[in-house]
Amino acid sequence: MIDTTIREQAAAMAAGALTARDLAEATRDRIAARDELLRSVVHLAEVEALEGPMQGVPFGVKDILDVDGQPTRCGSHAHEGAGPEATAVARLRAAGMVPMAKLATYEYALTGPAWDQPNLPARNPWSPDHITGGSSSGSAAAVAGGLFRVALGTDTGGSVRAPAAYCGIVGLKPTHGAVPEDGCFPLSPSLDVIGPLAACVEDAAVTLELMAPETRAAAALEQDIAGLHIGYARDWFADDPACAPEVVRAMDDTAALLSQLGARIKLVALPDYAPLEAAGTVILQAEAWEVHRERLAHRWERYGVDARRNLVTGAVLEPGHVARARAVARGFRDSVDALLGHCAALLTPTTLSPAPRFSDFEDGPVWTAMRTLPFNMSGHPAISVPCAMTDRGLPLGAQLVAAHHGEAQLCRLAHALEQAGPHFGTPAFGTR
């Protein structure tokens, strides 16, 4: 039962075919068997399941969210202690789900992989030589490695969607503000969102709906998508020199598949990408500097080298820079809103390449090309769905973006794509 959907797990428990104890033991056994390789779990807890519709279903939590009775380290030697439980976690717990483990994160959800954190970097279940992506690194490794069906992550510039794409799972970033952010150590509050990484769209949608009922994320999963208009933003990535040819092929195939399902594909133009990434980076670094400057002043030596050097860059920014960045963000939001006035969703890749190798990071942080950060600036909900596997056996993800509070539509489309799309089995690494 550990590999069935969380609804099926809950139904089996309601029918008496499975107990919460059985599922907890199976999860522990799997963690014991696989996580030495995956390196995703940083704290394993004994938690009693409360009564509820999802009683006993285990989940993992990125170690930047507070969970009652469990430590929060934020992947950093500079962090200790924990505050009251995050509302997002508490709502899942109230439904009977069990927060069994805290999962690895890049330090303060910022930069990685790094080797001077309290734990070694999580590994990509599809290939141990490759990173998971971040910053929800442990959440991605744990779900892709079959330890949990669902894990919570946070997404400030792509930190749910990019590791989901790199690891061949689903990553759902809700509308900004849809999930309460309390109990989550912030990185950039105007961009931060809590969202699920999951083994399938249904698991992601069900989990989001429990955390944010008003999203009704799982309400339309079974509806077909015939007649829906999809805006395919091909020019936004296909000519970028950083875009791998296999990503272009995968996205064209995904657009064709959506067309076969009855959706109407229309090429659309989004604003130039480079200024958007610049604006998002300025906002993120300015806010991260404000969040961390006091802590940096008192705990400088306890931060990892890459993290502290990254965080202090925000000190160069002036209020005028941030004001101009926010103006770019508003303009982008208006452009996307206009497109979504006559499209049910936009289609782009999540990342422009498969997961890089660990060896690519030996000389320090490496910029990796994605198409995620602008939708943190605009606040639109977005989901990454596995869409292809490269010749080297690494997953790629397609990103769908919907109107604000359009999670039901987004999950409907993603579910249709997932059901009709290619399936890649389970990774060999860590799952033998």
Partner 1 sequence: MTAEDFSRRLRDAGIPVSETEAKAAWPAAQRLLDLANQLPGRRDD
Residues that bind partner 1 (CB under 8 A): 275, 278-279, 281-282, 285, 293, 296-297, 300-301, 308-310, 312-321, 323-325, 327-328
Pick 15 or 297: Cβ nearer partner 1 = 297
Which residues is 123 bridged to in the sheet? Answer: 131
Asked if 266 is an active-site residue, the reply is no
CB 252 within 8 A of CB 232: no
What distance in Å separates the CA atoms of residue 120 and residue 114, rounded to the nearest whole number? 8
Closest distance to partner 1 from the beta carbon of 78 (Å): 13
Pick 82 or 291: Cβ nearer partner 1 = 291
Closest distance to partner 1 from the beta carbon of 113 (Å): 17
At residue 399, the 3 state secondary structure works out as strand
Pick 298 or 423: Cβ nearer partner 1 = 298
Closest distance to partner 1 from the beta carbon of 373 (Å): 12
Rounded to the nearest 5°, which phi and psi values hold at 248? -60, -45
Asked if 173 is an active-site residue, the reply is no
Closest distance to partner 1 from the beta carbon of 355 (Å): 23
**Could you say which of 40, 76, 127, 135 is catalytic?**
135
Closest distance to partner 1 from the beta carbon of 281 (Å): 6
Pick 94 or 317: Cβ nearer partner 1 = 317
Pick 108 or 166: Cβ nearer partner 1 = 108
What distance in Å separates the CA atoms of residue 155 and residue 170, rounded to the nearest whole number? 13
CB 382 within 8 A of CB 156: no
At residue 227, the 3 state secondary structure works out as coil
**Could you say which of 76, 159, 378, 384 is catalytic?**
159
Pick 21 or 293: Cβ nearer partner 1 = 293
Closest distance to partner 1 from the beta carbon of 361 (Å): 15
**Could you say which of 62, 76, 139, 188 is catalytic?**
62
Q: 254 CB contacts (<8 Å, ≥6 apart)? A: 347, 387, 388, 398, 417, 421
What distance in Å separates the CA atoms of residue 183 and residue 181, rounded to the nearest whole number? 6
Closest distance to partner 1 from the beta carbon of 325 (Å): 6
Cα angle for residues 170, 175, 180 (degrees, 5° grid): 100
Strand order of the β-sheet with 150-155 is 41-44, 98-103, 58-62, 150-155, 193-198, 170-173, 382-389, 395-401, 345-349, 229-232, 264-267
Three-class SS of 125-141: CCEEEEECCCCCHHHHH
What distance in Å separates the CA atoms of residue 405 and residue 373, rounded to the nearest whole number? 18
Pick 285 or 378: Cβ nearer partner 1 = 285
Asked if 127 is an active-site residue, the reply is no
Give the tokens for residue 130. Answer: 């490759």
Q: CA nearest 429: which of 132, 222, 150?
A: 132
Residues labelled catalytic: 62, 135, 159
